[in-house]
């Protein structure tokens, strides 16, 4: 029996997670899968209930699970809290405690949604990029960090950007292996001309390259990579980069696909145990209004089944069901266009479940 821990989180997390669990239940029944789910608090909801963003009970359940399914965390309600107890610390705590160092973010443009992208269809049609982001190191975790008062009385904020050879090598191997299974092209993104950390980063990537002769390795500065994602995104197959650069570039790539509400992600440890979540946030402005697009979370279920639970057939079935729903012209508001049927969060979940059962 495989164990999945469901973490709805905050804002629209509860609505989109409800639909994702319905889809998981549907494939469990369809394929006879031995998967059980449990629920726990994280983020703002955990702060409200326990005073901390990652309760010990949640962490204990997470460690006992084979995979985690997360909605979203955070919102204006908790913005004035001290940085140490903000909702996002719950998410970072799960990543670090579970050693989920490899973040896989696909940016795929469904052909049915080519007109929804902010770029011209000929620029983005057929887009299929995988961004591999290092997730447990870099400036988000580096020490020392904080806000201090200088001798002249002025306050100064400081963070430390640091990566070890072993951290770079393990994320590099994930990226090279991903490229082997895709188009055989890997672009490593750094700031080699300014940051010593990324001088080392580039050295390690070059060192790994001969072990993967079937992969073409290239390097690109992060500012140029951001520009190229908008100018000619289909030049990329797999991109690999550090935590902060990956955070920014993956959100940039997400919008090429028409809606951030369409994109799943996986955060994996060395043994493919993972946490799966949509790349979008908690969107508190539309929470509880049946407006949120649940497809990114539903597609995260597919990634979970494929990478952590080894249920490829069920994963394929979910992805095919989503594609058929889009073929049928069913859309939530964020991807709606003239001539399509507009539905809410629950309606989109209904549509995917019905396709699975048809």
- Residues 307-356: tens digit of each pLDDT: 899 999 999 999 999 999 999 999 999 888 889 999 999 999 999 999 99
What's the confidence (pLDDT) of residue 198? 97
What's the confidence (pLDDT) of residue 304? 97
What pTM was estimated for this model as a whole?
A: 0.85
80 classed as catalytic: no
206 classed as catalytic: no
Q: Which two tokens stand for residue 64?
A: 């006992």
237 classed as catalytic: no
pLDDT per residue as tens digits for the range 122-158: 888 889 999 999 999 999 999 999 999 999 999 999 9
In the set 61, 89, 191, 273, the catalytic residue is 191
In the set 190, 237, 247, 334, the catalytic residue is 247
What's the confidence (pLDDT) of residue 232? 95
What's the confidence (pLDDT) of residue 265? 93
Task: Answer positive or negative: Cα dihedral of 49, 52, 53, 58.
Answer: negative
What's the confidence (pLDDT) of residue 200? 98
273 classed as catalytic: no
Contacts of 317 (CB under 8 A, 6+ apart): 27, 30, 31, 356
User: Is 87:78 a contact under the CB 8 Å cutoff?
Assistant: yes
285 classed as catalytic: no
Burial class of residue 56 (count of CB atoms within 10 Å of its CB; 0-12, 13-18, 19+): exposed
In the set 10, 89, 140, 307, the catalytic residue is 140
Q: How far apart are CA 64 and CA 215, in angstroms?
A: 36
Residue numbers in the chain where pLDDT is lower than 70: none
User: Is 255:233 a contact under the CB 8 Å cutoff?
Assistant: no
For β-strands 102-108 and 341-342, DSSP reports them as unpaired
Q: What share of the chain is helix, strand, coil (3-state, %, to 5)?
A: 50, 20, 30
φ and ψ at residue 115, rounded to 5 degrees = -75, -15
In the set 48, 206, 223, 285, the catalytic residue is 223
What's the confidence (pLDDT) of residue 338? 86
In the set 251, 269, 290, 350, the catalytic residue is 251
What's the confidence (pLDDT) of residue 117? 77
Residue among 79, 74, 38 nearest 58 (CA): 38
Q: How far apart are CA 1 and CA 348, in angstroms?
A: 29
């Amino acid at each position: 029996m495989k164990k999945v821990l469901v973490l709805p989180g905050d804002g629209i997390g509860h609505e989109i997670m409800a639909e994702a669990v319905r889809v998981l239940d549907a494939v469990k029944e369809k394929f006879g899968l031995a998967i059980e789910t449990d629920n726990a608090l994280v983020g703002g909801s955990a702060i409200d209930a326990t005073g901390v963003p990652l309760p010990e009970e949640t962490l204990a359940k997470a460690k006992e699970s084979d995979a985690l399914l997360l909605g979203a965390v955070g919102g204006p309600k908790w913005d004035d809290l001290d940085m140490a107890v903000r909702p996002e610390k719950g998410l970072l705590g799960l990543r670090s405690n579970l050693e989920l160092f490899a973040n896989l973010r696909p940016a795929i443009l469904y052909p049915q949604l080519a007109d929804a992208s902010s770029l011209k269809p000929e620029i983005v049609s057929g887009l299929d990029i995988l961004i591999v982001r290092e997730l447990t190191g870099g400036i988000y975790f580096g020490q020392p960090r904080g806000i201090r008062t200088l001798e002249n009385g002025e306050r100064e904020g400081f963070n430390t950007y640091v990566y070890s050879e072993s951290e770079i090598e393990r994320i590099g191997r994930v990226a090279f292996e991903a490229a082997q299974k895709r188009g055989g092209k890997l672009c490593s993104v750094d700031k080699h001309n300014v940051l010593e950390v990324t001088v080392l980063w580039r050295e390690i990537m070059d060192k790994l390259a001969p072990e993967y002769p079937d992969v073409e390795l290239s390097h690109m500065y992060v500012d140029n990579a951001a520009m190229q994602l908008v100018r000619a995104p289909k030049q990329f197959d797999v991109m690999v980069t550090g935590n902060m650069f990956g955070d920014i570039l993956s959100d940039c790539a997400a919008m090429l696909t028409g809606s951030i509400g369409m994109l799943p992600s996986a955060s994996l440890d060395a043994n493919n145990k993972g946490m799966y979540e949509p790349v979008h946030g908690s969107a508190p402005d539309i929470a509880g209004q049946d407006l949120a697009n649940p497809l990114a979370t539903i597609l995260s279920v597919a990634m979970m089944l494929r990478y952590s639970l080894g249920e490829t057939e069920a994963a394929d079935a979910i992805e095919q069901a989503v594609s058929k729903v889009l073929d049928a012209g069913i859309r939530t508001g964020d991807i709606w266009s003239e001539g399509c049927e507009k539905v809410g969060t629950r309606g989109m979940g209904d549509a995917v479940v019905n396709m699975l059962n048809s």
